[in-house]
Amino acid sequence: MPRRHYGSYLADVLAGVEAAAPGRLHIVHDECIDILASGAGVEARLRSGASLMGHVAILAVGHETNPARAKGIAVRVGSEADTPLDPDAPVLLLGSGLSMVDAWLSLAEAEHRGPITVVSRHGLLPKAHRQVAPIPLEAADVPFGTELHYFTAWFRDLIEEAAGRGEDWRSVVDALRPFNQRIWQNWSLGSRRRFLSHVRPFWNIHRHRLPPDLHARLEQAVGAGQVRLVAGTYLDIERRGAEVRATVRRKGAGNLTFFDVARVYDCGGISVDVEQSSNAAIRALLARGDIRPDPLHIGLEVDTECRTIDRFGTPSDRLLAVGPLTRGTFFEIEAIPDIRVQCAELASRLVVR
């Protein structure tokens, strides 16, 4: 299902809440520019000059998109700069994750026939999803607290054992899902850092998969040569008349490769560095030290109860966070099923205060 439909579903759920309990839910269309917490509660200051008072505030701002790279020459799919293209023009996509798939799908739906080059560090595509049952896996089976090299060896062995029984690797990946957050929290900081640097690209393509029919269409485009995967690092970009030249260093190569294309799409996806946030409230809270980045700088530092941590290392009972902002503590907190559980657990704790 297109992701925008989930937003429509949530809007319908909220409309039902408003109808069933008038006055319980207030939706204010404004921008929060700061949040001040005290022993008595919180004050959310809005761009309009108004303030909202409460006992607690929850930062639920979701994903933030990376600023477009490439000197402003690369464009985002669906942006104002994404004007109609010559259907035979060559195109370059920076990134090979789900944002790239969205860009490719947009081009495919526009019946684009020209060559499409996809550049990413490893040149990997997301795998296809398949409806299979997870293998039986208990908490006692999982080696919590071990270092990354031991854990990855155990995980590979588990997949090989499943394959020997004729089972799908997806059954092993999905069996791990209930334990992913606990695994992350039990790793040392060094193991987490090594995972992000070396393992995450391979984990992501197996964990965040594509619908089978969409994956088949993309594989067909790769097989036909219309889509070409390049493992390498984007270095520079410049305009050359009506075209754009991008400079890439291929993985393992000493020389540079140049791509002359009509357009470059930046598919770098989401931003994880809160210190580069464009959100006014996040910036104000960081500047005052009321919140701080987590040690890996992939979100805010929060404890397991979603309480934000200030510059002194003190958790706040007034200022909480949910969703992708909390990935430093929970890591797997970007998909709706995981966020729903986190929000439900936080709501349960709030109502019994």
User: How confident is residue 69, by pLDDT bands cut at 50, 70 and 90?
Assistant: low
pLDDT of residue 276: 85
User: How confident is residue 336, by pLDDT bands cut at 50, 70 and 90?
Assistant: confident
Instruction: Report which of 211, 27, 59, 56 is spatially closest to residue 130, judged by C-alpha positions.
Output: 211
pTM across the whole model: 0.85
User: Does residue 70 have a pLDDT over 70?
Assistant: no
Determine the Cα–Cα distance for residues 162 and 143; give it in Å rounded to an integer.
18
Average pLDDT, the chain: 92
Cα 275–chain centre separation: 17
User: Does residue 39 have a pLDDT over 90?
Assistant: no
Determine the Cα–Cα distance for residues 319 and 277; give it in Å rounded to an integer.
18
pLDDT of residue 326: 96
| Mean pLDDT, rounded, for 164-168 | 95
| Mean pLDDT, rounded, for 159-170 | 96
Cβ contacts of residue 338 below 8 Å, gap of 6+?
181, 330, 332
User: Does residue 111 have a pLDDT over 70?
Assistant: yes
Number of H helices, E strands in the chain: 11, 14
Give the number of residues written for the chain. Answer: 353
| Mean pLDDT, rounded, for 155-172 | 96
Determine the Cα–Cα distance for residues 4 and 258; give it in Å rounded to an integer.
36
CB atoms within 10 A of CB 261: 20
pLDDT of residue 4: 74
In percent, how much of the chain has pLDDT > 90? 76
| Cα atoms in the Cβ-side hemisphere of radius 13 Å centred on 78 | 9
With tokens 């026939």, the residue in question is 113
Q: 164-168, 176-180, 228-232, 265-269 — which is least confidently predicted?
A: 265-269
User: How confident is residue 254, by pLDDT bands cut at 50, 70 and 90?
Assistant: confident
Cα distances (angstroms) measured from residue 28 to each of 42, 201, 325: 16, 39, 22
User: How confident is residue 218, by pLDDT bands cut at 50, 70 and 90?
Assistant: very high
Indicate the residue type of 271. Answer: S
pLDDT of residue 67: 63
Cα dihedral sign, 203-207-212-213 = negative
Cα distances (angstroms) measured from residue 194 to each of 38, 62, 189, 209, 324: 38, 25, 9, 23, 20
Determine the Cα–Cα distance for residues 95 and 74; give it in Å rounded to an integer.
12
Q: 32-36, 76-80, 122-126, 284-288 — which is least confidently predicted?
A: 76-80
User: How confident is residue 44, by pLDDT bands cut at 50, 70 and 90?
Assistant: very high
Beta strand 227-240 pairing with 116-120: parallel
The conformation of residue 352, written as its DSSP 8-state character, comes to T
pLDDT of residue 290: 97
**∠ CA 225-231-234, rounded to 5°:** 110
Extract the tokens encoding 121. 């560090």
Q: Give the containing element (helix H, strand E) for 34.
A: strand 32-37
User: Does residue 53 have a pLDDT over 70?
Assistant: yes
In percent, how much of the chain has pLDDT > 70? 97
pLDDT of residue 68: 60
